[in-house]
Every structure is written in C-alpha cells, then in structure tokens.
Amino acid sequence: MNTQETPKSAELKPDPHQAGRSQAEEWKQLLARNFLVVILVALCVTMGFLQPVFLSGGNISNILFQAAFVGLAGCGMTILIAGGMIDLSESGVVAIAAIAIAMVLPSTTIGGALVTALILGAGLGLINGLLVAYVKIAPFIATLGSLYLFLGLAFISTGQKVVPIVSTNYRMFTTGSIGPLPVPFLVFVLCAIITGFILHHTYFGRAVRALGSNEVAASLAGLPVRRVKLLAFVFAGLTYALSAVFMSGRLSSAEGNMATGFEMSVIAAVVVGGTALRGGNGTVVGTAVGALLFAVINNSMNLLGIASYWQYVVTGVVLVLAIALGSARSGGSRIRGEG
C-alpha cells in the first residue's frame, strides 16, 4: 500500500519545479527497488500498533535471533542459487554439526567445538559438491538424497535421543548480546559482508555468477566449473555449520530433527530477497531483508495467537508468489532449467 501512495500523491501535485519532479521519480524508483523493505517496515509498524509487545526489546532480540539463523545459512544458499544450484540438505548438515558440538563440548573447549562443527559442515558440503560436480547429479535431487543420508546419520549417532548442551559458557557465548544486538546477529552481519565481498569482488564469485547465467559458456570460456561448484557447496556447508553453532546454543540441546523444514525457510528468504532462481546474480542484502521479513511474519503470527501450523502454509505461499512475480516480470522467456 505504502509503495503506491507516496509516489502517487507526489505526482498528483502539479509541481512547477523540474527538480522536485525528478526527485519524486527518484523516490518512486527507490521504493520500487526496495519494496521489500517497505513491506517489512509497514508490517513492523502495524504490529507495533496491534501488539505493543512486538516493539519491546526482548521481542526484537527474539526476531534478530531467528533472522540470524536463517540468514547465516542464507549466505551460503545465496552463493549456490547465484551459481544456478540449490541445496535441500541444510537441516541434515545443521543437525549433524549441532550434535557434534553437543557431543564434544564436555571434553573440549568452545573453540574446539566450533572448529569441529565447521570442519563437519565443510566436509558434508564437500560430499554434496562431489555428488553434483563429479557424479553429475542434478543439485536438488543429489542434496535431497544426502539430506536423508545426513538425517539418518544424525539419528544413528544420537540413538534418536536429545543431546543436551550443559556448558553454560557455550550458552552464554552463543546467546549473548553486545549492546542491544545479539551475538548471532552480529556474526550474521559479518558473514553477509564477507559473502557479498566474495560474490562481487573475487574471482570465485565472478565464476559462480558466470556459471549461474550460462554454464556451457562458462565451461567453454575455460572456467574451472567443477572446482567452482565444489567450493560453493563447501562454503555453503560452512555457513550451515555456523547457523548450527548458534541454533544449538539457543536450544541448549541438539537432536536429529532440530532443523526440520529449515531448507524451506532459507530458500524462501533468499528467493524473496531477490536472488533469482535461474542464477547469474545474487544479493546478500536482499537475503538479509528476506530473513528478517520471515522472522517478523512468524513472530507476528505467534504474537497474534495463530496456530504455528499456518507458518508452513504462509512460507510456501510467499515463496511461490515471489517466484511467480519474478518470472512474470522477467517475461518468462529467460527462465531456464525448470523442473
């Protein structure tokens, strides 16, 4: 609503000053480009009126926590989708990394647990990458297979039980705040900046985008296609492990299905954020806004007392709408790699 009202009212006024007019145009463009931010702000303001609790410090930090989990994994997913790939195995990787943390924590330091989680994340990402780049299985189906593989391993290693995290230091480290901002959110911002830099200012990032816009051309141009795919999955695995670090701290436990359905939220955040599913480009800022948007939607539904089951429906519908809108805008002819 807000998107349309502001520029319209500016246009209706017969403005004699040319400068004023072009400024209105600029505003219009700015709003059109950032309509997601506008929706986010509008949603926050509405919720602030409906439920004043929404704007309390505790609730806001709650939202930032949720956004950080999705956003961290979203960084890796943005790279993958920009490269024309996709990954459905996050919830498996997150479960294994979190279980590993819970298991090694009693005998090692926090640093040791972090390193274990990151190594595992990279390793599982490597498996996905090998399946996609070298066995040449389509990414979404290869990672669907590895999802169940990882989940099975997670269940076996825990004996289908919940592993508690007793270390208070670990919990304090992962759920702490610096000023008003939770640590996971700060780590997410840092990770997003690094991801943005990688995607837009490094050889690897350029190769990923080239791969995403036209794999055959990228291969003919001599880019190391296989190695780039492999690296992209390893990077994604690392970001999932980071997400697992904070998620396990927040839950102060780990189990096989702690992240069930997580892949949906992550893909939805990335795609709604504006990274086109056909690959070729990615926006980490968009992913961050998308993650915040979904965190706000879910939080609002909780505050309004709507059954949590509706979150499944809303996430799915928003995802389809975002992609349908995107394909309608790009004329459809440029969409490739369907199915």
Partner 1 sequence: MSSNDMLSAESLQRDERKASEDRARRADSLRRVLQNLGVFVPFVVVLVAGIAIAPNFLSPSNITNMLVNASILAIVGFGMTVVIAVRGIDLSVGSAQALTCCLVAASVNGFGPLGGIAVGLIAGAVLGLINGLVTTKLRVPGFITTLSTMSVYRGAALIFTAGAPIIIDSVGFKGIATTSVAGIPLPFLLALLVGLAFWFVLERMRSGRYVIAVGSNPEGAIDSGIDTQRVILGAYVFSGVCAGLAGVVLASQLGVINASVSNGLELRAIAIVVLGGTSMAGGRARVVGTAIAALLLSMINSGLNLLNVISAYQYVALGVLLVLALGIDSGQRAAVRRMLEGRGTEQ
DSSP state of 253: E
Name the minimum Å distance from CB 14 to partner 1: 40
Tokens of 58: 């505790």
Nearest approach, Cβ of residue 158 and partner 1 (Å):
9
Which residues form the interface with partner 1 (CB under 8 A)? 88, 131, 135-138, 140-142, 144-153, 155-156, 159-160, 256, 261, 264, 267, 271, 277, 307, 309-313, 315-317, 319-320, 323-324, 327-328, 332, 335, 337-339
- Give the nearest distance from C-beta 154 to partner 1 in angstroms: 8
Question: Could you tell me which residues come within 8 angstroms of residue 108 by beta carbon, excluding any fewer than 6 positions away?
Answer: 116
Q: How far is the CB of 151 from partner 1 (least distance, A)?
A: 6
- Give, in degrees to the nearest 5, the angle at Cα 244 between 238 and 245: 90
Residue number with CB closer to partner 1 (23 or 160): 160
Tracing tokens 């901002």 back to the chain, one arrives at 181
Q: 164 - beta bridge partners?
A: 253
- 167 or 299, CB closer to partner 1? 299
> Would you say 246 and 117 are in contact if contact means Cβ atoms under 8 Å apart?
no
* Partners of 253 in beta bridges: 164
Nearer to partner 1, 202 or 257 (CB): 257
In the bound complex, what is the minimum distance in angstroms from residue 237's beta carbon to partner 1? 17
Closest Cα partner for 223 from 231, 235, 215?
A: 215
Helix 35-50 × helix 284-303 angle, to 10°: 20
Nearer to partner 1, 52 or 261 (CB): 261
Helices 90-104 and 57-82, axial angle in degrees (round to 10): 120
Shortest Cβ 12–partner 1 spacing (Å):
34
- Return the number of the residue (210 or 322) whose C-beta is nearest partner 1: 322
271 or 289, CB closer to partner 1? 271
